[in-house]
């Protein structure tokens, strides 16, 4: 099957096959029940609400409007009952026991804090969501964001999980102010780094980490988190609506599943001055967090409120195959658009000597973790070492590399920096955009890249990470 925009020649002749109509099913959902569905990558279903009220992760669905879902695992919840029509095939079932009451009560508690913040001119709650992998953290963040939007709020949503992109491709860490409805068909919606949409685009601030786990290079991850927090806090200060609403911060599950991860959680809590922590799906993690933060004080002297929430039974494990497929779909959408909008990317051939490419070093750990002193709210800086006892500062965060065949089909981040900037300045810079390496010609020492628009990139440093992994060939 050809992908629009790739320029394949049309076949000389084609034989028409009979068109098979997709099966249509109508479901009657009772009050406080949830219809859960999984659509395979490359497949789609159409859903229409015939009567009643329903929502997807807090965003209300319009009656008699056709919604199309492709390659997703999601659910539709109804508080009062509804009737839905489904066209297409998917794995599905209806659940009557859900933690939605807990989640909506959490939303109302946050709303009370936001009202108090608006009245007193203070900043709204800074909410951190932690829990194991596949516990439903991102779904909870999306639900709390959607409910706050329905109340007229403007939350700042922070994504610190590089395995999943939020309004950007995977490998990115983003901060996004939300002021308009979430596009349920697109996941979070669209942005200038993805494609156009009838729903207003969001404007994320994007930083590039380029590795799948924060523990792959803590020396790189921590400063990026610090830079992300600084930019987010500045935006809160400048916008009264966002200031009163506060932040909702999503985290990678890996940092909640080991003792080494608590150092990273402490770093996020410290940098964002988190005052509310939602622990989802883990009694042990909640107990550990209570012990660690019971006497902790934020930079403004606030205590931390910890709330334990149940994991939804609709959470499913996403294997590596599904993750790889969703990453490839996100990359294709970035360059070529989606079923609703077709984009036309540009190709450019560049000489080796005209490019500055940094490769992210992996395996840089903090052996002596920073120690958080709750009474003094201070972080003692520790020495960092590479495996084998090699001093980390001797090698730097990035390795300057020349294009090579292993770079083919990979993604490079184009940074808002200059080729003369230091590695620290490049690390702290935000992302200008991404390019895809279509071809590496060692004989002619040339690199052919695919980019969203025709613009000069030779005056910018490019960063090559291992995440997202190399995609299938996008250019014939």
The 3-state DSSP class for residue 425 equals helix
Q: Are 398 and 362 in contact (CB under 8 A)?
A: no
Dihedral sign computed on CA atoms, order 281, 286, 289, 294? positive
Would the annotation count 137 as a binding residue? yes
Would the annotation count 139 as a binding residue? yes
- Distance from C-alpha of 243 to C-alpha of 24, rounded to nearest angstrom: 46
Residues 6+ apart with CB under 8 A from 475: 6, 347, 436, 438, 439, 448, 450
**328-343 b/e (C-beta count within 10 Å ≥ 16 → b):** bbbbbbbbbbbeeeeb
Would the annotation count 44 as a binding residue? no
Q: Are 435 and 411 in contact (CB under 8 A)?
A: yes
- Distance from C-alpha of 38 to C-alpha of 148, rounded to nearest angstrom: 27
The 3-state DSSP class for residue 289 equals helix
Dihedral sign computed on CA atoms, order 451, 176, 205, 208? negative
Would the annotation count 308 as a binding residue? no
Would the annotation count 136 as a binding residue? yes
- Distance from C-alpha of 422 to C-alpha of 430, rounded to nearest angstrom: 14
Beta bridge partners of 472: none
Would the annotation count 135 as a binding residue? yes
Q: Are 169 and 352 in contact (CB under 8 A)?
A: no
Q: Are 265 and 251 in contact (CB under 8 A)?
A: yes
Pair of tokens at residue 313:
């039974």
- Distance from C-alpha of 179 to C-alpha of 191, rounded to nearest angstrom: 13
Would the annotation count 134 as a binding residue? yes
- Kindly report the number of other CB atoms within 10 A of residue 63's CB atom: 14
- 91 burial (CB, 10 Å; 0-12 / 13-18 / 19+) is exposed
- Distance from C-alpha of 333 to C-alpha of 211, rounded to nearest angstrom: 21
For helices 283-293 and 261-272, angle between their N-to-C axes, nearest 10 degrees: 60
Would the annotation count 34 as a binding residue? yes
Residue with tokens 């200060």: 237
Residues 6+ apart with CB under 8 A from 295: 374, 375
* Binding site feature residues for ATP: 34, 73, 134-139
* Binding site feature residues: 34, 73, 134-139
């Amino acid at each position: 099957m050809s992908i629009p925009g790739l320029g394949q020649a049309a076949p000389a002749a084609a034989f028409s096959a009979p068109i098979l109509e997709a099966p249509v099913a109508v479901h009657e959902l009772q009050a406080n029940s949830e219809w859960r569905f999984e659509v395979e990558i490359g497949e789609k279903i159409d859903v229409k609400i015939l009567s009643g009220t329903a929502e997807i992760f807090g965003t209300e669905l319009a009656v008699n409007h056709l919604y199309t879902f492709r390659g997703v695992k999601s659910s539709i919840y109804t508080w009062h009952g509804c009737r839905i029509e489904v066209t297409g095939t998917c794995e599905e079932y209806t659940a009557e026991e859900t933690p939605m009451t807990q989640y909506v009560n959490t939303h109302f508690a946050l709303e009370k804090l936001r009202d108090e913040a608006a009245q007193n001119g203070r900043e709204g709650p800074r909410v951190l969501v932690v829990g194991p992998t596949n516990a439903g953290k991102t779904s909870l963040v999306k639900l709390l964001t959607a409910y706050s939007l329905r109340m007229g709020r403007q939350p700042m949503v922070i994504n610190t999980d590089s395995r999943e992109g939020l309004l950007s491709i995977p490998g990115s860490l983003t901060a996004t102010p939300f002021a308009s409805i979430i596009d349920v068909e697109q996941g979070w919606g669209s942005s200038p780094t993805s494609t156009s949409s009838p729903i207003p685009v969001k404007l994320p601030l994007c930083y590039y980490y380029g590795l799948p786990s924060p523990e792959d290079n803590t020396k790189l991850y921590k400063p990026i988190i610090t830079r992300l927090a600084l930019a987010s806090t500045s935006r809160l200060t400048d916008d009264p609506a966002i200031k009163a609403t506060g932040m909702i911060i999503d985290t990678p599950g890996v940092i909640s599943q080991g003792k080494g991860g608590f150092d990273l959680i402490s770093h996020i809590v410290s940098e964002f001055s988190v005052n509310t922590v939602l622990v989802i799906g883990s009694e042990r993690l909640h107990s550990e967090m209570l012990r660690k933060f019971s006497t902790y004080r934020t930079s403004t002297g606030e205590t931390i409120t910890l709330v334990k929430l149940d994991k939804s039974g609709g959470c499913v494990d996403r294997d590596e195959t599904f993750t790889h497929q969703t990453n490839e779909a996100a990359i294709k959408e970035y360059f070529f658009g989606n079923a609703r909008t077709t984009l036309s990317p540009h190709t450019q051939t560049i000489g080796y000597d005209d490019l500055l490419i940094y490769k992210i070093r992996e395996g840089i750990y903090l052996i002596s973790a920073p120690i958080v002193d709750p009474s003094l709210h201070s972080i003692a800086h520790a020495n960092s070492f590479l495996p084998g006892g090699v001093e980390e500062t001797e090698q730097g965060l990035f390795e300057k590399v020349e294009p090579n065949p292993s770079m083919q089909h990979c993604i490079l981040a184009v940074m808002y920096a200059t080729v003369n900037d230091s590695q620290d300045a490049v690390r702290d810079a935000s992302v200008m955009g991404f390019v895809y390496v279509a071809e590496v010609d060692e004989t002619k020492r040339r690199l052919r890249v695919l980019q969203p628009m025709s613009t000069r990139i030779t005056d910018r440093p490019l960063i090559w990470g291992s995440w997202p992994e190399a995609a299938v060939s996008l250019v014939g």
